[in-house]
A and B are shown apart, each in its own frame.
Chain A
Amino acid sequence: MRRALELLRSIACLVALVALGTSVLRAQAPTIARGWRVAPAASIKIHAPSGVLEVVGWGRDSVAISGTLAAGETLFGGGSLTGLKLGAEGTATAGQSRLLVRVPIGSRLVVRSGAANVKVRGVTGSVDVGSAAGDVDVSGELESVTVESISGDVHVAATTPSVRARTTRGRLDIAGRIDEAQLTSVSGPVTVSAQPIGRMRIETVDGRVSVRGRLAAAGSLDIETFGGPVHLKFPVDQRAALDLRASGGDIIGRIAVPAGGASFDLGTAVVRNGTTATLSRSIGGGTGAAPPVTVRTFRGRVTVDAFRPRS
């Protein structure tokens, strides 16, 4: 009994020490809160070397930054009504910065991050995020989205006329209603689940490409990989003009026939010439020009499947 009590006392002491240490550390991290007056559609550039940066649109004509800075980093900021530059600078020696920046909804936003993870939401203007090693997450209804991360992952879930996204080995995950997109990676996988898909071009060297969704009547899909496999998944009633070529790979899958009847083994329509497999065929019913789907891969495999959309 006495032993159990001693053990309980030790655990309580340990918990108290940890809580004390955490609160001391928190107290040491410099807390910041600062604001600037800007125009509703001001250009705002934010720098975040490390940690976490969250940018949120709000209905005020001002910019407010709050949060904590890592030891070694300092806050800077300044500009005019139409243009503002702010953020953290310096090299973090301990801890992590956690910054929340509120900006006018319609502002034009540029973010540059070293290793900071960046999240942008609630902004309707254009957003341009460049990060060396951080993950980037952009969501909302936006004028345009440009995102680049060298080694971080990029996630865009937006309704926007235009998306430009690029990674080297990070993951590109694109969703939403997008009219036009250019997605590029070297070895990072590219996943698109847009609804509908507008004009989209995807390029990668070795990354896996997965596209799932309905291609708009005025849309087009153009995919180019070297060794990355390509997996396309359209609704069963999708109309499209497929033009697929796998130079050293293969083309497989099942799709709906033009009459909309039973599924059809794509492999039977593939023309093979040496190591090159090609397929040119329209799928889905209807009349008039079908949206083109062009895939070129040097070593990868192309798979086309159909899914039954939920009513």
Chain B
Amino acid sequence: MRILIVEDDEILADGLAAGLSLNGFLAEVTGTCADADMAIQHGDFAAVVLDLMLPDGSGLDLLSRWRTTGNHIPVILLTALDAVSDRISGLDQGADDYLGKPFDLDELAARLRAIGRRNEGRAEPVLRFGNLALDPAQQIARRGLQQITLSRREYTLLHALIERPGAIVARATLEDRLYGWQDGVESNALEVHIHKLRAKLGAGAIRTVRGVGYQLQECAT
């Protein structure tokens, strides 16, 4: 899942990015309302972690602006103002969830995963395709009873493929998920990770669709 973090405190934003990527998310950081607006328009994010007090305006105003313009991206508000009335007004302005500072990183990750599940219209925390299962909370895959450990990149790739079972996922989408806005990604880096993933899941598990992307396939082994 690709997450946009809108937080102007450098240290907290850095911690969020590092912590969320440890939890299998790909996090992008912006520090102002203007940058957040731009990122929302151009990037494909699964959720936004939004601070309320930003140097160029209020996060709440930004959120209601998104909602009135028809942007329904899930938003978790982060704020130091965590009185009940503040929570209520935040949720009523269109936020999906609310965390008061200081918060627990694991709790934020769990809430983001829950938001991801709701987005995909499922209640079960584990993603399944055939006899293959992916557990986002533990970042491990299972085939039947066999447990498969995944690196962070492999997990991100498999998550992107298993989200829409059977669909062909474009190369660009996968690269975007893996690297975000980082520059200088080598052209064959994606192939390297696909290759490693095939080695763990079985050669037939991922089909290459030439010129388009990749597709997850059911296989018996």
A binds B: no
